[in-house]
């Protein structure tokens, strides 16, 4: 029995196993944890000088990036057992975060300001929302500056 695990061009995990000395009902393929386990077992046969029995076990550890729940196997007419485990399809990590409305009013609070000669660095108490005067204000809930625009 030869095994040749490899990744195909499609990115799937594959393994081919020569089981031509075993009949279809003497070979089993199963999933155990993150392994694909192939077992072949032939019962004892009487031969000229005694009895013969054969068996084998092959275990393939499947990496986490493959979807072991979607594993499949097929047996060709020339006795090659092929096992295929597809690559897990990753879903986008993008997610829309809903905006929740609250009944609270969020009014910026006055902050201690440092005296400065530059008008841009002065922070003042915000004016009413209907103001036509653009002014910089501080939002008391975060550290980024808000700038009001005068739109005609």
Report CA 57 to chain centroid distance, whole Å.
31
Percent of the residues in the chain that have a pLDDT greater than 90, as a whole number: 36
In a domain, 36, yes or no: yes
- 145 pLDDT above the threshold of 60: no
* 114 assigned to some structural domain: no
Query: How many domains are there within the chain?
Result: 1
pLDDT tens digit sequence for 35-69: 999 999 998 888 888 888 899 999 999 998 899 99
Q: Which of 142, 145, 143 is closest to 124 using CA atoms?
A: 145
Q: Quick one: what percent of the chain has pLDDT higher than 70?
A: 62
CATH number at residue 68: 2.60.40.790
Q: Is residue 57 part of a domain?
A: yes
Contact call for residues 40 and 55 (beta carbons, < 8 A): yes
Q: Is the pLDDT of residue 117 over 50?
A: no
Residue 108 counted as domain residue: no
Q: Is residue 115 part of a domain?
A: no
Please check whether residue 107 lies inside any domain of the structure. no
pTM to 2 decimal places: 0.52
Is 78 inside a domain boundary?
yes
What DSSP assignment string belongs to 82-114?
Answer: EEEEPBPPPPP---PPPPPP-S----PPP----
Would you say residue 93 lies in a domain?
Answer: no
Domain residues for the domain of 54 are 6-85
Nearest Cα residue to 60 out of 11, 13, 27: 13
* Phi, psi angles (nearest 5°) of residue 86: -75, 155
- Mean pLDDT value across residues 86-108: 78
How far is C-alpha 137 from the chain's CA centre?
A: 43
């Amino acid at each position: 029995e030869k095994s040749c695990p490899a990744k195909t061009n499609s990115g799937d995990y594959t393994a081919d196993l020569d089981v031509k000395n075993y009949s279809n009902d003497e070979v089993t393929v199963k999933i155990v944890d993150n392994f694909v386990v192939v077992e072949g077992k032939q019962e004892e046969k009487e031969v000229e000088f005694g009895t013969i029995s054969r068996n084998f076990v092959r275990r393939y550890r499947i990496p986490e990036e493959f979807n072991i729940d979607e594993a499949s196997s097929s047996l060709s007419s020339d006795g090659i057992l092929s096992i295929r485990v597809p690559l897990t399809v990753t879903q986008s990590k993008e997610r829309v975060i809903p905006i929740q409305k609250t009944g609270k009013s969020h009014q910026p609070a006055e902050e201690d300001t440092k005296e400065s000669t530059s008008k841009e660095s002065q922070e003042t108490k915000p004016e009413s929302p209907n103001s036509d005067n653009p002014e910089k204000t501080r939002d008391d809930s975060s550290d980024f500056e808000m700038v009001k625009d005068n739109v005609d």
